[in-house]
Structure 1
């Protein structure tokens, strides 16, 4: 008796799991038609801030066929980076800088792309598989709406993908194929009446549920924004120096996420888990490159990191940081100088108004 043939889609998902992906789903290339309209409205409102590449490539981003007309199916994959430690633990240690959980290990671009390419090679070896393209974050791909259409999870009120089994700790990758594959059922929104992520945001970056104004988002301000951070937003940044997990950490669905399912490449490096602000303030270019080599943090450069650390220092109330901040008043970067002046002013006011520093 001939053994039943295992469907390609089932074998694909088994291979994806073998390569370290925690989730894999399939959708038709035209399964999220509303995403393009939402993107255009978001861009029209200017909520993307200085991320001008989102505007210049909006037509390609609006739908998979806008980027590659031949695509027929999209395979969406998620790789877990669920943290073992509480991302909020450092909120009460103002002398330390908070780095987003996703950036404390190896650069996810390299890890996810390597696994995607391995899966793509396996697919090419299968009979009947045609052309395909792999994407991780840097291409104009609407990963989150496609992930929801492919059943991986739903786009929560904080605009990130939420999974019933993985919480919101997922890196997303996509494989576009010119073959028609059996699609999965789309994921259903399960946020209900919960607003935990909205109220957790220190800078009020959510004008409404499911809408993010990047111009107020700490992740945007500390990573993408190149100039001086608006002064009215600086107190809310607290001790965040790269990214922010506050809205993610607040989500109740994370109780189902297991750190054991996280890819080992994303385990935190000791020097990135809780860096001292004093050390960050004293970084030069060479020191920055040495510490953040192999990390996604390296792309913001030394000046932006020191700017962020100076703002965190101003929020810390820690007078021991005054010498390092004072040295930055003569920094070559005027943005760093501005952040240092502001921080020193904050610390001075704290000293004047407090009977004991």
Structure 2
């Protein structure tokens, strides 16, 4: 049976079952939207023209394909977007951790196993179930693996609104969740988008940003964002920004931690997102002592592994430079003073200089 003569009633029936199927696979919500992202395309181009993407050259290379799903996957007419909560209930209190300068802060999403593979496999299973039910159709699943405007698609699918901090906020779930997409040529009925942004006059997320990376509400200059600096940026970090990074060695959650809507968020029940190797409460000195082998083996299956050992040491060196001066901190830095990497040596020297005048 072809798509052209597929009974529309069968699509309605499938839609009514999608929520159940998605929940069985560990997702908390599913929405469906069309592929017209024209209202977001102009914003994307303006953002790229301003250079806010920094060293993320793939953003420029893909251009407006990100806002045109049918150019990425020809034949696509609808997009299924799914939400999976990730906040780990068992992790150390993030707000307390940020006040402990000798400890490493890692973004809550990266404490456990890499979500990319886990979600993509489950999206593929969902797509296969739909295909088996309908007997036709094409499907492609994405989780940060292609030029996709995931937050715009989710907003249009009625799953929330894009907030002033550029995160997607769901009024019943906050923003501590991952998004994944299934592009398909199946003409499902679409869900109504959110027409109102419920941030009101609140600017807590903009005000709290350690590096003041928000140029304006809804506009993030990635070049100043700690998540970008610690993950995407490959080279030396601007010395003016280093003191502002505190103990954040991989990502930053500040704008989510202060968001009032996150009082509605729910902790994850996904075992793979639970903290591993004490990454939610480890000292900077201990992590800085890891060898290249330690980094590769202990972070096997972790999203952190993608930045590589050199950036790992760079990031921790900055955090150690921001830490309260102790014998442990100075000793840890001194042991890396002559590291083979010029990048690591530069940041270690900076860190030691921060402590030079302290009593």
1:343 aligns with 2:351: yes
- After TM superposition, the score normalised by the length of structure 2 is 0.93
In 2, the alpha carbon distance for the partners of 1:151 and 1:262 equals 24
Counterpart for residue 176 of structure 1: 183
Aligned pair partner of 1:158 in 165, 172, 191: 165
Please say which of residues 299-308 and 55-64 is displaced more in the overlay: 55-64
Q: Does structure 1 residue 25 correspond to structure 2 residue 1? A: no
Q: Deviations over 1:102-126 (max 9, x none)?
A: 0001100011111101101101101
1:211-237, Cα deviation, whole Å (9 max, x unpaired): 100000000000111111100000110
Q: Give the drift of 1:270.
A: 4.3
The answer on 1:76 being equivalent to 2:81 is yes
Structure 1 Cα separation of the partners of residues 66 and 77 of structure 2: 16
Q: Is the 8 A contact 1:317 1:350 kept in 2?
A: no
Matches of 1:248 and 1:129, distance apart in 2? 41
Aligned twin of 1:167: 174
Which SS does the other structure have where 1:74 is aligned? strand
SS of equivalent to 2:79? strand
Contact 2:105 2:248 in 1 (8 A): yes
1:240-294 alpha-carbon deviations (Å, 9 max, x no partner)? 01001001111100101111x4433211224211221112222221011122111
Conserved? CA contact 1:319–1:347, under 8 Å: no
Aligned counterpart in structure 2 of residue 317 of structure 1, from 324, 332, 335 = 324
RMSD: 1.4
Native 8 Å contact 2:14 2:130 kept in 1: no
Select 2:54's aligned residue among 49, 53, 74.
Answer: 49
Which residue matches 2:213? Answer: 205
Conserved 8 A contact 1:168-1:254: yes
Say whether the 8 Å CA contact 2:45–2:64 is kept in structure 1.
no
TM-score (norm 1): 0.94
Deviations along 1:285-342, one digit per CA (max 9) or x if unpaired, are 1011122111000001111011111100010022221122112221111111011011
Question: Does the Cα contact within 8 Å between 1:164 and 1:253 map onto a contact in 2?
Answer: yes
Aligned to 1:95: 102
Name the count of aligned residue pairs: 346
Tell me, yes or no, if the aligned pair for 1:310 and 1:343 is still in contact at 8 Å: yes
Q: Which residue of 1 aligns with 2:6?
A: none
Q: Quick check: 2:277–2:298 contact (8 Å CA) kept in 1?
A: no
Q: Which residue of 2 aligns with 1:299?
A: 306
Contact 2:213/2:221 (<8 A) preserved: yes
Give the Cα–Cα distance (whole angstroms) in 2 for the partners of residues 48 and 349 of structure 1. Answer: 36
Unmatched 5+ residue regions in structure 1?
Answer: 352-357
Match of 1:330 in 2: 338
Structure-2 change in CA distance of 1:309 and 1:139 (3 Å): same
Does residue 137 (structure 1) correspond to residue 135 (structure 2)? The answer is: no
For structure 2, list consecutive stretches of 5 or more residues without a partner in the other structure: 1-8
- Is residue 278 of structure 1 aligned with residue 276 of structure 2? no
The aligned counterpart of 1:231 is 239
- The answer to whether 1:268 aligns with 2:275 is yes
Any conservation in 2 of the 1:271–1:291 contact (CA below 8 Å)?
Answer: no
**In structure 2, how many angstroms separate the alpha carbons of the residues matched to 1:213 and 1:254?**
23
Q: Is the 8 A contact 1:167 1:253 kept in 2?
A: yes
